[in-house]
Structure 1
Amino acid sequence: MDKHLCDELLEEIFRRLSLPSSAAVSLVSKRCLRLLRSSTTHLSLNFPSPYNPTTIISLSTFLSDHPYLSSISLTGGGDPLLLAVADSCPNLRQLHLPGDPVSPFALCTLSAACLHLSSISVSLSRPLSLHWLPCFTSLKCLSLSFIGPSTQDNNNLEIEENRDTFDLESLSLSGISAGDSGLSFLWRNCKNVKKLQLKSCESVGDHASFSEFLKSSNGLKEVELRTCRSIVDSVLLKLAADCISLQSLLLHDGGSKEGLLHFINHSKCRLKRLDLRLPLDLENAHLIALSQNPNFENLKSLRLESCCLVSGEGLRAAVGEAVEELALINCDVVEREGGLLAALGQGLGNLKELDLSRNERMGDKDVVSMVVSCEGLEEVRLRGCGRLSDAAVAAMVRSCRNLERVDLRCCGGIGGEGVEALVVKAVGLRRVAVEETKLTPLAKVAAANKCIQIVSTFI
């Protein structure tokens, strides 16, 4: 058949194939193998160290056979892999290189070879050096992980070339220590950042330049703080004072009761999304304060995970009519207070996404009483809710006419009949996450006919 199709048409077909099917294509003929490689734009490879010259040459040859690669993820990291990419992938736009740190020299070489790179994720060793950063003129997304012993001698030399701004839109930093004051160069020259992520950081480096960064970042819309307990207070105080443009805030695994309450009470931003995983740092006082700040009256997404100190009183106060996404993940208040979900559902006419995952003792009655009031639901996640049965699925099918995505993984009480009813009867369904063993023959046929994506998990 391939003899009657031109190269361009075959390449377009190969681009639309799933990974298992595309792997089989390479075995058909040399022409199919060549066209498959020329149509491949993304690769994810695992290259654990140590590396020898033969391995690196083989990698370079393999990458050169994929001339239109625009995105690469290479697990293993280090200079050898980075230099192989620089030598073989001139059209690269996204590079993810977790693992071993890379050197400034290798990054400068990469910048000269890959002129269109817009996203980089790499690790750096201490002492930090960022003199390579101005070489990447197309960079929009930067993710850096800092590796090595933390000392007070981590300051890198000031960089004489000081542009007005780096045109970064997303900045993610992991592992900042108290001695990393050399980051002041980064804070001073990033004025257009829209998304800031800090992970496992005990400091922000130079506090003065970080404060100026927040003051001058008029377009900062998203902030994520993960496992950053020692700096949460100071960051939240600065956000409340300076970031009027903030729309999304995420705090996971390390917070501050006082700092969070101050932010909620004094922030003037129009917050639209709040995502909290704070088992011991979130109380009813925070949720009630959230409802009392008029700037947060249009909050569209509230996500709470493992928040064991809140009650129904706080939730009923915080969840307003504007909410379109609600997540109560592993929140025992759902199980402690019967009728809570029914009460919440009555005031959520605009709800489109509901996540009640990992509430292991939540029963059918709670889910049914909520979904019957939320007819506009498009996505429901119930992963790990072991006490639910087919009755909960039947209620979703009857009530949620717009349902598109459902996650039923690890729901031991939901069987093949419930999954079959969902796949067959839900008119607009597009994606179901469920164990392979719960897919009946009829469910598989219906999913194929309706182009429903099945995400299977084997247990």
Structure 2
Amino acid sequence: MKGHDLINSYLPDELIIEIFRHMHSKSSRDACALVCKRWLALERNSRRTLRIGASGSPDSFVKLLARRFVNVKNLYVDERLSVSHPVQLGRRRGGSQSTLSSLKLPYMIERGESDDSELESNCFSDAGLIALGEAFTKLKKLSLIWCSNVTSMGLQSFAGKCRSLRSLDLQGCYVGDQGLAAVGECCKELQDLNLRFCEGLTDKGLVELAIGCGKSLKVLGIAACAKITDISLEAVGSHCRSLETLSLDSEFIHNEGVLAVAEGCRLLKVLKLLCINVTDEALEAVGTCCLSLEVLALYSFQKFTDRRLTELALLYCQRIGDNALLEIGRGCKFLQALHLVDCSSIGDDAICGIANGCRNLKKLHIRRCYEIGNKGIVAVGENCKSLKDLSLRFCDRVGDDALIAIGQGCSLNHLNVSGCHQIGDAGIIAIARGCPELSYLDVSVLQQNLGDMAMAEIGEGCPSLKDIVLSHCRQITDVGLAHLVKKCTMLETCHMVYCPGITTAGVATVVSTCANIKKVLVEKSKVSERTRRRAGSVISYICVDLSIPH
């Protein structure tokens, strides 16, 4: 009835809070909080996650947040993001002051303070961390990104107050050993710890943390910590028996450290290493001891062996050759995903070995591996019948024969052959006829051999297609595009930048035919005023130099 507030009269607090919890958009929750004072209070009480910048009086801003959001469990503080001072927020209707300016805020910078004091007030420091610990004692997750003014003193105080902490990210924070030791002593439930670029740490702090809360630790990341050595990893191997994920990026770690982790952390599932001083001896221990390993990512390594992998990523490993992949093919029959990026010494023999030995392969992503050609991909098509996701970006030696074999042997959902210049109509037609469940297709930068015939076949054979990238394809015209969209009624995104054969008529055809279209990326000059009025919300423009990517 008009004039009656039925929602507030009949709905209990618990039900309104439950509605708030199902709103995943911050803007939606903020809008609801403005309805009335009751909703504002309930929304604040139900808020579990806060993300704030760490500049512009962040210490005092934390105190303000603590008074308003008392049940926060996850807090993200990022020095790279700015936060507006409260007095800069919007004005009240009919008033000259901001919504918060009438409050007597204790964190306003006094005029008589020195420049140094003003500078420190613009960075998140120990004072903010101490206030955070006192206010959010139920905190489960804290992320401090590049908060360089935070020291061991603040971390010690925080750890003593927030003993239920489970996740701590200290990336770029200059905390020392005492602070990390306090976390180990107080936070016995800690499961996830990130120590990337924590230059103030030494072995002493990490050893004490491992001793203190190693039983609960499951995820550990260490990068660019120059004073962390094998001694720390030996402590991790001895005390962190439940560790499942380890990321190491250090030139100071040797075989001894990785051996200790492999022998002590036998539940390890994910191992990512960029350690130039680690050799095959350590990796053999990983293969022997870590039988639960699912993901192994190696950066700048030589040859290695391993078993029972489901996913392997080799990124920029130019010294790894075919022999290493042949060993993977022989010993890793459970492999389901393989990622190769800029591995210039890996060729067709290696891919043939993978295809023959890893017949459960579901995902194969290869980028800029110029020794891989038709022979290897044909073997994949003949042997890996479960393959669903194939990406061959800028592999110059891969041509139509490879895709014909894939189309005959596999039913892909995802295909990316961007920059594979030898692929043309014949290969894409084979995919269209053999992969009816294809939902994603990227054929960008196939300038010479791909044209309208392939588009028509894709339209006929792939009715489930949702995303297509045609950018830099010179031979595709409005005719082929019309055939494509006529049958691909589920299409949601279409990128067609720098396709000279596609005109304003083709763009109009896409937006008028595809009822589900959400994004069209095209040059601004190819969008007519009528199309802009009709579907301006889904059209994006490219305004930079349209040179061909390398």
TM above 0.5, one fold? yes
Aligned to 2:124: 55
Pick from 19, 23, 39 the counterpart of residue 16 of structure 1: 23
Contact 2:335-2:358 at 8 Å conserved across structures = no
Aligned to 1:307: 395
2:416 partner SS: strand
Tell me if 1:213 matches 2:324. Answer: no
Pick from 345, 370, 373 the counterpart of residue 256 of structure 1: 345
Q: Which moved more, 1:24-33 or 1:240-249?
A: 24-33
The CA RMSD measured in Å over matched residues stands at 4.7
Aligned to 1:451: none
Q: 1:86-125 counterparts in 2 under 5 A?
A: 86=159, 94-99=167-172, 105-110=178-183, 117-123=190-196
Pick from 406, 428, 448 the counterpart of residue 341 of structure 1: 428
Aligned to 1:247: 336
Q: Which moved more, 1:347-356 or 1:260-269?
A: 260-269
1:80/1:374 CA distance change after superposition, 3 Å = farther
Tell me if 1:316 matches 2:404. Answer: yes
2:230 partner SS: coil
Pick from 58, 76, 81 the counterpart of residue 146 of structure 2: 76
Contact 1:202-1:228 at 8 Å conserved across structures = no
Tell me if 1:286 matches 2:379. Answer: no
**CA–CA separation in structure 2 for the residues paired with 1:10 and 1:69:** 20
1:229 partner SS: coil
**CA–CA separation in structure 2 for the residues paired with 1:201 and 1:354:** 36
The aligned amino acid for 1:47 is: E
The aligned amino acid for 2:363 is: R
Contact 2:329-2:357 at 8 Å conserved across structures = yes
Pick from 436, 439, 445 the counterpart of residue 352 of structure 1: 439
**CA–CA separation in structure 2 for the residues paired with 1:188 and 1:392:** 59
How many residue pairs get aligned? The number is 439
**CA–CA separation in structure 2 for the residues paired with 1:138 and 1:455:** 49
**CA–CA separation in structure 2 for the residues paired with 1:341 and 1:139:** 48
Pick from 215, 220, 223 the counterpart of residue 145 of structure 1: 223
1:412/1:13 CA distance change after superposition, 3 Å = farther
In the TM superposition, residue 133 of structure 1 has moved relative to its aligned partner by 4.5
**CA–CA separation in structure 1 for the residues paired with 2:323 and 2:120:** 46
1:315/1:397 CA distance change after superposition, 3 Å = closer
The Cα offsets for residues 60-102 of structure 1, whole Å up to 9 and x where unpaired, read as 6468777876655543166828938757766665555544576
Contact 1:376-1:402 at 8 Å conserved across structures = yes
The Cα offsets for residues 370-427 of structure 1, whole Å up to 9 and x where unpaired, read as 4224324343241744656665654443222444x42537567778876676566545
Any gaps of 5 or more consecutive residues in structure 1? 448-453
Contact 2:493-2:520 at 8 Å conserved across structures = yes
Q: TM-score, normalised by structure 2?
A: 0.62
The aligned amino acid for 1:276 is: I
**CA–CA separation in structure 2 for the residues paired with 1:97 and 1:358:** 42
Aligned to 1:326: 415
1:257 partner SS: coil
Q: 1:360-371 counterparts in 2 under 5 A?
A: 365=452, 368-371=455-458
1:115/1:247 CA distance change after superposition, 3 Å = farther
Contact 2:375-2:402 at 8 Å conserved across structures = yes
Aligned to 1:298: 386
**CA–CA separation in structure 1 for the residues paired with 2:48 and 2:359:** 43
Contact 2:425-2:450 at 8 Å conserved across structures = no
Contact 2:397-2:420 at 8 Å conserved across structures = no
**CA–CA separation in structure 2 for the residues paired with 1:192 and 1:322:** 34
1:396/1:59 CA distance change after superposition, 3 Å = farther
2:286 partner SS: helix
Pick from 361, 384, 397 the counterpart of residue 485 of structure 2: 397
Pick from 246, 258, 265 the counterpart of residue 183 of structure 1: 258
Contact 1:397-1:422 at 8 Å conserved across structures = yes
Aligned to 2:40: 32
The aligned amino acid for 1:369 is: A
1:278/1:412 CA distance change after superposition, 3 Å = closer
In the TM superposition, residue 340 of structure 1 has moved relative to its aligned partner by 2.8
Pick from 359, 365, 369 the counterpart of residue 275 of structure 1: 365
Query: Which protein is bigger by CA-based radius of gyration?
Result: 2
**CA–CA separation in structure 1 for the residues paired with 2:164 and 2:449:** 51
Contact 1:166-1:189 at 8 Å conserved across structures = no
**CA–CA separation in structure 1 for the residues paired with 2:141 and 2:453:** 44
The Cα offsets for residues 150-179 of structure 1, whole Å up to 9 and x where unpaired, read as xxx9432633973694351x4444456674
Contact 2:413-2:439 at 8 Å conserved across structures = yes
**CA–CA separation in structure 2 for the residues paired with 1:456 and 1:89:** 46
**CA–CA separation in structure 2 for the residues paired with 1:175 and 1:433:** 43
**CA–CA separation in structure 2 for the residues paired with 1:261 and 1:247:** 14
**CA–CA separation in structure 2 for the residues paired with 1:391 and 1:60:** 66
Contact 1:25-1:36 at 8 Å conserved across structures = no
1:299/1:52 CA distance change after superposition, 3 Å = same
Contact 1:63-1:89 at 8 Å conserved across structures = yes
1:160/1:373 CA distance change after superposition, 3 Å = closer
In the TM superposition, residue 47 of structure 1 has moved relative to its aligned partner by 0.6
1:89/1:209 CA distance change after superposition, 3 Å = same
2:372 partner SS: coil
In the TM superposition, residue 40 of structure 1 has moved relative to its aligned partner by 4.0
Q: Which moved more, 1:98-107 or 1:215-224?
A: 98-107
Identical columns (%): 22
Tell me if 1:162 matches 2:249. Answer: no
The aligned amino acid for 1:224 is: A
Contact 2:316-2:343 at 8 Å conserved across structures = yes
**CA–CA separation in structure 2 for the residues paired with 1:344 and 1:213:** 39
In the TM superposition, residue 20 of structure 1 has moved relative to its aligned partner by 4.8
Q: Which moved more, 1:410-419 or 1:114-123?
A: 410-419
